[in-house]
Structure formats: C-alpha cells, structure tokens
Amino acid sequence: MSTSNLESLRFPIARAAKSNEPPKELIQLQDTCPLAKLQLFDGTPTWIATKHKDICQLLSTKGLSNERYSQPGYPELYPSGKKATAETPTFVHLDDPKHAEQRAMIEELFTRERIAALRPEIQRIVDHVLDAIVEKGCAQGPVDLVEDFATPIPTRIIYGILGVPEKDIPELSKASAIRLSTSGSATDAGDKHLHDYMSALVDKRIQAPGDPKDDLISKLVVEQYRPGHVTRDDIQRLAYLVLVAGNAAVISSISLGVLTLLQNPEQLNVLKEDSSTATAVAVTEEVLRYHTPSSLNSRRVAKQDTIVGGKIIKAGEGIVGAVQAGNRDPDMFTNPHNFDIRRDIDPDKNLAFGYGPHRCQAQWLSRVELEVAFATLFKRLPKLRLAVQPEDLEYTSATQNVGVSHLPVYF
C-alpha cells in the first residue's frame, strides 16, 4: 500500500459490505506499515499499531496513558466520543495507581477461581434460555439466536453478579435490549431506565445490603462506602460500568461463534461429538481470536515521547492497538486467517481481551459464558441450521465492532 493511499485512510477502517472479516486494508498495513499514521473521523492524525508484539508493548508501557478525559490527544473514534470526554472516569480510563486501586475493589468477583465456581449457575441460565427457545419452537418461523439466545445469557448473568432481584429481571432485560438497539433515541431511553434502576438499587443497598452480601453493589457498600473510601455516586458508576461494559461483545462472540461453526461443519462435528469443557475451551478461544469482537477500545495517548515498533510516539499523540489485526498476525498464529479450533492458543497471547494492566476484568467470566453457550446449544439442538443464506445476514455498522444483527435459525 503506497504512502499516499495510507494518508487517505480513516480509522476505524470500514469492513467490506456484508462481511464479518477485519478490513483488508488493516491486514495490509501489518505487512506494509505496521506502525502507521492514519486520520480519525475529524482529520486528527493517530498512530495505528497492527503487529501483535507492538500492541502488547503499547498496552503495557507506562509512557502511554488511558486517561481519556484529561488529555486532548486521546484518540476519539466517533463524534459521540467527544461528548463522553466530559464524564467522570471509572478505572477504565484512569492510569495506575488509581486504576489498580479501583479495579481491585471488584476484582474478587471476577477471578478465575470465582468464575469457575459460578459455572453451574451459568449452566443453569443457559439451560433456562434454551428451554424457552425449545418451547417457542420454529413452527411459526425461524428463531433469532441473537435475540433469544446470545442476548439473554450475558444480561441475566450480569444481573446476578450485581444482585438485581429475579423479579426485576424481565423489565430490565427489556431496557437492556433497547439500549443495545441501533436507534439513537431508543438507546437513550434504555440507558435512562437502566441508570435510574441502578441508582435506586444502590440507595436500597446503602440502606440495607443484600443478604448474603456477596453481590457487587452490597460488597462495595460494605467494604468501600461505609469506611468512606468511595461515594455513593462512585458505586453507581462502577455498577453501571459492569452492567454495560461487555454485554455487546459477549453477544457478538456467541452469535458470530455459532455462525462460524455452522459454516465449518467439520469443526462443528468435533464439538458435537465431544462437548467436554476442553473442546468448548478450544472453540471459545478460537472464536475470540478469529473475530476479536471488541477491537476499538485499546487506545492510548502518549504522556511522554515513547518508542513503539521503532517509531517515536510524541507526547500528546494518540495511538490505537488494532487488536483485531494483532490476532491475525502470522508471526504469532499460523495461517491466521483460517478458523481452526485445533490451535492450542495461550490465553495470554489472545488479544481479544486486550493486554497489560487494562486487560478485560471479565475475561474469565466471558470465556465461561461462551464455553457453556456453545457446548450446550449444539448438544440440545444438534440439527440447528441457518434459516437464510450467510450472504443475506446483516452486520453492525462497518466502522464499529463486528457483530451480526440477527441470526435466524431452524432446529
């Protein structure tokens, strides 16, 4: 790719129409210009790193900051990001030591051990969601797996972690679905409802923490609010963050994973014949690598001149770790553009959850949700098949994180 072509590229680069593949120009950059300077939507220049090793370096070096709200050079990808810069930051957009301090407040609920103990509950929820699909049946037409399977699983699980009472879940799920819809005004309405609900729940827990007090909000009230380490609003912000942070990525991972398995029947048969945790782990890790459904948030701004991939990122300049490209780097993964559940991926090398101190706090939770979802879906519904041609599927907007809008199936 020539330099003049490069200068005309805008980041995020659009995916091809009707495709869930990373933009081909992003992959070309890895070969021709692994540390490239592209423009954002408003013409601001930003660095884009596409090699796995450079992305790991930039996401773990102290010279680059994730303090989005206090530094004008932080790369914003859409006009709405400019609005977001007025918000009070959670730890997601703070640097250490403040980041580590806040992250630690909820870490206990997301450790690998704690999530392993949650597996039976996740299985119960997935079974329950599938019971409803079986009961509905497809005599009246195909079932949309995005709406009826991929969405309720992470939504219900996160409500459980937050301590939302069972009786409130149906109504809140409706608000979550509205929030995830693409219509701007509907999204705002869903947001407001969820905000108001979480605000009321925080007040309720401050008056009387749940019993047992192991839900996230009660834990923050007892351990952080009562001793005076955080304010009521801090708790609300953290609870809302956990509620919305990763739902869309889990939904996309489940939906795209099911689609990709259906398109690779020989690999799907491996899972159908052996739905053990080990096989589900291999499927999940490869789905996450291959699709990398949260690929636009690994962004940083240089606090001081910092060398990445042999180039100087000057203080104040923005840089994006293109994790979707990093997960297709041939120096790290053989035949990276092939979907292959037989790879033995080291989870630490999988960039789907980012890298370094800001690596996704819910990575183990998300993995177990996917493992249980894939294994159980094809065990319960082995005849599951697409109700439309793959080329008729609709995807999320071409410059946003990859996701499929609907996945109509028969079973």
Binding site for ligand HEM (CB under 6 A): 59, 66, 91-92, 103, 154, 158, 241-242, 245-246, 249-250, 253, 293-294, 297-298, 352-354, 358, 360-362, 365-366
Minimum Å gap between C-beta 284 and ligand HEM is 9
Minimum Å gap between C-beta 262 and ligand HEM is 19
Q: How far apart are CA 17 and CA 231, in angstroms?
A: 46
Cis bond before residue 357 (omega within 30° of 0) = no
User: Measured from the CB atom, is 350 or 376 closer to ligand HEM?
Assistant: 350
Minimum Å gap between C-beta 351 and ligand HEM is 7
Minimum Å gap between C-beta 392 and ligand HEM is 25
Q: How far apart are CA 214 and CA 221, in angstroms?
A: 11
Minimum Å gap between C-beta 221 and ligand HEM is 19
Partnered with residue 410 across adjacent β-strands are 385
Residues 395, 23: contact at Cβ < 8 Å?
no
Element at 126 (helix H, strand E): helix 112-136
Q: How far apart are CA 322 and CA 36, in angstroms?
A: 11
Residue number of the CB atom closest to ligand HEM = 246
User: Measured from the CB atom, is 27 or 285 closer to ligand HEM?
Assistant: 285
113 burial level (CB within 10 Å; 0-12, 13-18, 19+): exposed
Residues 4, 386: contact at Cβ < 8 Å?
no
- Tokens read off for 72: 């004008």
User: Measured from the CB atom, is 154 or 209 closer to ligand HEM?
Assistant: 154
CA 85-88-89 angle, 5° bins: 85
User: Measured from the CB atom, is 157 or 393 closer to ligand HEM?
Assistant: 157
Residues 216, 162: contact at Cβ < 8 Å?
yes
User: Measured from the CB atom, is 333 or 353 closer to ligand HEM?
Assistant: 353
User: Measured from the CB atom, is 1 or 116 closer to ligand HEM?
Assistant: 116
Minimum Å gap between C-beta 409 and ligand HEM is 21
User: Measured from the CB atom, is 328 or 358 closer to ligand HEM?
Assistant: 358
Minimum Å gap between C-beta 129 and ligand HEM is 16
Residue in 163, 179, 266, 279 with CA at minimum distance from that of residue 219: 163
Minimum Å gap between C-beta 94 and ligand HEM is 8
User: Measured from the CB atom, is 1 or 100 closer to ligand HEM?
Assistant: 100
Minimum Å gap between C-beta 32 and ligand HEM is 25
- Tokens read off for 128: 């329950």
User: Measured from the CB atom, is 20 or 253 closer to ligand HEM?
Assistant: 253
Residues 6+ apart with CB under 8 A from 96: 357
Residues 268, 378: contact at Cβ < 8 Å?
yes
User: Length of the chain, please?
Assistant: 411
Write down the H helix ranges in 181-304.
Answer: 184-207, 216-220, 232-244, 247-263, 265-273, 277-291
SS3 content of the chain, % helix, strand, coil (to 5): 55, 10, 35
